[in-house]
Amino acid sequence: MERADAARNRSAILAAASRLFAAHGVDAVSMDAIAAAAGVGKGTPFRRFGDKAGLAVALLDERERELQGRILSGEAPLGPGTDAAPPGPGTDTAARLRAFSEAYLDYALGHLDLLRMSETSSPGARYRIGSYRFWHRHTAILLGELGWVDPDAGAHALLAPLAAEHLGAVASELGTERLRRAAADHLDRLLGSGT
């Protein structure tokens, strides 16, 4: 179990990081500054969170879990719904994918800079963090239900345009409204719009 001082420092660091990120932007805040603001030594944030990306992940954790909860056990179309039947061709799998894409977009666009920090700090970071594995697994399962040949690979391809890096660039070039419409169109084309 976690020692008392460790727990105290963890929350102090998270609070300081949250405050400084909101005030100056994620990129403009150094780990030194966070440690100083939290009243801890420079090494502590690294021991606690690994690196700056890990800190971002920890800050995103709460919102993330909420979305994951809605997916796992929330209402349709995002979640499985109250339907007692086991998941299968009966439920509208395509609708669940569409709902996921929209919900994820909402989540991501609301925390773009934090998400980008969590995904782009080290090479391949995005694909290693737990949350990506979750989104990937969820997507792959649904694609499997739809009969895709290689759901794992398909899920990666489906998630690629949802990367923070991509969203940030496209949103700033085309605006979020066009981005949302394009994401919906894209999914319709992949899943078959009418089906």
- The residues binding DNA (CB under 7 A) are 2-6, 8-9, 30-33, 40-44, 46-48, 50-53, 121-122
Q: Using the rule CB under 8 A, is 120 a contact of its own copies?
A: yes
Distance CA 41, CA 49 (A): 14
Q: Report, in Å, the least distance between residue 34 CB and DNA.
A: 8
Contact with its own copies (CB under 8 A): which of 88, 123, 147, 194?
123
Q: Report, in Å, the least distance between residue 52 CB and DNA.
A: 4
Distance CA 78, CA 102 (A): 9
Choices 12-20, 65-73, 91-99, 171-179 (CB under 8 A): range interacting with its own copies:
171-179
Residue 65 makes CB contacts below 8 A (sequence gap 6+) with none
Q: Using the rule CB under 8 A, is 133 a contact of its own copies?
A: no
Contact with its own copies (CB under 8 A): which of 62, 82, 189, 194?
189
Q: Report, in Å, the least distance between residue 148 CB and its own copies.
A: 8
Q: Report, in Å, the least distance between residue 40 CB and DNA.
A: 3
Q: Using the rule CB under 8 A, is 156 a contact of its own copies?
A: yes
Q: Report, in Å, the least distance between residue 131 CB and DNA.
A: 18
Distance CA 122, CA 82 (A): 40
122-136 per-residue burial string, b: 16 or more CB within 10 A, e: under 16: eeebbeebebbebbb
Cα–Cα distance list, 12 to 16, 18, 37, 110, 114 (Å):
6, 10, 9, 23, 18
How many other CB atoms are found less than 10 A from the CB of residue 91? 18
Both tokens assigned to 145: 């239900």
Q: Report, in Å, the least distance between residue 159 CB and DNA.
A: 23
For tokens 């737990």, the residue is 130
Asked if residue 12 lies in contact with residue 39, where contact means CB atoms within 8 angstroms, the answer is: yes
Judged by beta carbon distances under 5 to 8 A according to partner kind, the member of its own copies, DNA, none in contact with residue 31 is DNA
Binding residues vs its own copies (CB under 8 A): 27, 116, 120, 123-124, 126-127, 148-150, 152-154, 156-157, 160-161, 163, 165-166, 168-170, 172-174, 178-179, 181-183, 185-186, 189-190
